[in-house]
A and B are shown apart, each in its own frame.
Chain A
Amino acid sequence: MNETRFRFLNEERKRELVKNWRKFSSNPLSIVGLISVLIVLFLAIFAPWVAPYPQSWGRWVDFNNVLKPPSWTNWMGTDNFGRDIMSRIFFGFRYDLMMAAAILVMVVPLGTILGLIAGYFSGTFIDTIIMRVTDVFLAIPSLVLALAICSLLEPSLFNSMMAVSVLWWPWYSRLSYGIAISLKNEYFVQASELIGASTPHILFREILPNCLSPIFTKMTLDVGWVILIGASLAFVGLGAQEPIPALGNMVSAGTKYMPDYWWMTIFPAIAIAFTILGFNLLGDGIRDLLAVEEV
């Protein structure tokens, strides 16, 4: 009997998954997004094996092949050191995705927890302190703030990550703040207060699980934006430094050779656009899926 019950539940979960997949796949744009993201992830993870010239990623010079236009041997041409652009783009996905992941891993828990606390204690001084600090960060244009921080510190990949993190957390505290405020007055939160559950229990076991789906959606949408900001910093020389093949500094390096050697700039730029578009389409798809579930 126990076993049949278990199977029944598994069956139900499976049916739900299939149902969600159908809903998600009914929008062709979501599928495009998903496929793009999968391609980017695949190339990033397996860059050393799929890149035609894996040695191109670092300090490597081949003066025989400098600034070659796209050809059958170098599909996207070579740069001023004779390195294969396509291989560098694959490694560039790696750095950009790693940066985005590292930033979100720092930012999301911090922002979410601060927002939860502020929302649950809304109306008290805790709320005032946390949310006013949040407002201050939100009031400064994010790119300007990032530029300011990066130019104060030594330009490097790590420092640009720190800068983006500093300006990104307020969005998550805003999001979880709103959810926490509305859930605070739900009967199930009041019930656990009346039972005598501790504040951490209410925050993390009662309220937090109900915030996860919107936060996850926002994370997917944000990957694209974080990559864009990281690329912008790299473009102005405040992010990753040569010879690290971040997509932003590849575009930046190519601008000196525009317009004659256009492939040095255009292909990394397309790669950035492709990544951002993919994550945004995927995020939109997930958001639609969850929005329906919430009603």
Chain B
Amino acid sequence: MSEEILRVKDLIKFFKTTQGVVRAVDRVSFSIQKGETFGLVGESGSGKSTTAFTIMGVYPPTGGEIFFKGVKLTGGVKSRPLSLKKDMQMVFQDPGSSLNPRHSIGQIIELPLKVHKLYENNRKERVEEILKMVGLPLDFTRRYPRQLGGGEKQLVAISRAIASEPSFIALDEPTSALDVSMQAKIINTLLRIQKELDLSYLFITHNLSLMRNVATRVGIMYLGKLLEVAPTSEFFIKPLHPYTKMLISSIPVITKEEEKLKPERIISRGEIPSPVNVPPGCAFHPRCVECQEMCSKTEPEMIEVEENHYVRCNLYIDQSK
């Protein structure tokens, strides 16, 4: 059994708005092992980014527990110890706004070194070492974010995240704003430094094809709830939850081999409802093709159908292991 880096138990994050309470993250539980990439997939409004932000402490959680390397985390980012911030980092979705336009790339990457008092005698060399690691030219240290392309900015954001030598990085849609050729470069860089630095990732995306190539385990989120968690290969070969099937069959693919892999066509219908009015019972039942009478009344629990394959659906209620 490998070492557990992060465990989230019944994590809850509600936002109060004028329209009502938004149940952004509703009793989400999962764990991430050392060196693993755990993927969270879902449509917009499913709460996947909120989950990451809550784990990182940008939003203080409403309820539930977060354990990092066995230590319980409490409260928001400001009340957490400095050593923890060194160990957990995050890369944001929009590379444009994640770098301060008034700072040079050198200053941006140097900041974590300064804050955590690392390499105090040879910071400049360390910054160049990090740039080399992500494959950026060294003269970038004097450049400013506006002189860079989107992909390069994202690589700088990744450099900043790895500068404090963390063991865990949350990646919130790191490539969704980029082109496919740039995406390939970012993803490969991420996977390479993961091996080199023995990192664990929480990888968030809406792109299932990308997830297939990155994650070791995948969780599907819908309206703040985890509906299915499984190892990646099994997840795509044998999806169980009707929502997962619908998602996979909606993915546009370009080769015949991929076409074969898709489950039989499930026509997608309906839209994700507002998280203020979550449907009663199973949240997915109004869009579900296999909806039964009980689905609108009883909310299913997460059950382990096969080893390490969890699903939250009334269809599998009898197959619990």
Contact = CB atoms under 8 A, between A and B. Distances in A.
Partners in one complex: yes
Interface of A: 5, 9, 12, 186-188, 190-198, 201, 206, 209-210
* Max chain B Cβ within 10 angstroms of own Cβ: one of A190, A196, A210: A196
B138 to A, nearest CB: 10
B289 interface: no
24 contacts: A9-B142, A186-B98, A187-B92, A187-B93, A187-B94, A188-B98, A190-B92, A191-B90, A191-B98, A191-B157, A192-B111, A193-B58, A193-B77, A193-B78, A194-B56, A194-B85, A194-B89, A195-B115, A195-B160, A196-B82, A197-B111, A209-B102, A209-B103, A210-B100
Contact of A188 (B57, B88, B100, B116): B100
Contact of A5 (B56, B58, B90, B139): B139
Contacts of B85: 194-196
A194 B77 CA distance: 7
The 4 closest A-B pairs by CB, nearest first: A196-B85, A187-B98, A209-B102, A187-B92
B221 interface: no
B94 A210 contact: no
B139 A195 contact: no
Contacts of B88: 194
A209 B100 contact: yes
Nearest to B161: A191
Contacts of B89: 194-195
B261 to A, nearest CB: 35
Contacts of A196: 82, 85-86, 112, 115-116
Contact of A195 (B57, B58, B164): B164
A5 B143 CA distance: 11
A196 B117 CA distance: 11
A16 to B, nearest CB: 10
B101 interface: yes
Nearest to B83: A196
B125 to A, nearest CB: 15
B97 interface: yes
Contacts of A187: 92-94, 97-98
B99 interface: yes
A60 B102 CA distance: 53
Contacts of A197: 111, 115
Contact of A191 (B102, B116, B160): B160
Interface string B137-152: 0010010000100000
Name which of A12, A187, A191, A194 has the most chain B CB atoms within 10 A of its CB: A194
Given A193-B58, A193-B78, A194-B77, A188 B99 contact: yes
A77 B101 CA distance: 55
Nearest to A210: B102
A226 B77 CA distance: 43
Contacts of B99: 188
Contacts of B78: 193
A206 B160 CA distance: 15
Contacts of B98: 186-188, 191
B165 to A, nearest CB: 12
Nearest to B96: A187
Interface string B34-69: 000000000000000000000011100000000000
Contacts of B142: 5, 9
B112 to A, nearest CB: 5
Contacts of B116: 195-196
A47 B96 CA distance: 50
A5 B97 CA distance: 27
Given A187-B98, A191-B98, A209-B103, 13 more contacts: A5-B139, A186-B97, A187-B93, A192-B100, A193-B58, A193-B77, A194-B57, A194-B77, A195-B115, A195-B160, A196-B82, A196-B115, A197-B111
A190 B160 contact: no
Contacts of B97: 186-188
Contacts of A186: 97-98
Given A187-B92, A187-B94, A195 B112 contact: yes
B243 to A, nearest CB: 30
Contacts of B139: 5
Contacts of B82: 196
A196 B113 CA distance: 11
Contacts of A198: 115
Contacts of A201: 115
Of listed A5, A187, A209, residue having the most chain B CB within 10 A: A187
Contacts of B101: 210
B90 A194 contact: yes
A186 B95 CA distance: 11
B134 to A, nearest CB: 16
Given A196-B86, A209-B100, A190 B58 contact: yes
A10 to B, nearest CB: 11
Interface string B171-202: 00000000000000000000000000000000
Contacts of A206: 100
Contacts of A209: 100, 102-103
A195 B94 contact: no
Contacts of A9: 142
A201 B114 CA distance: 11
Nearest to A188: B100
A201 B99 CA distance: 15
A193 B53 CA distance: 12
Nearest to B170: A194
A188 B157 CA distance: 9
B51 to A, nearest CB: 15
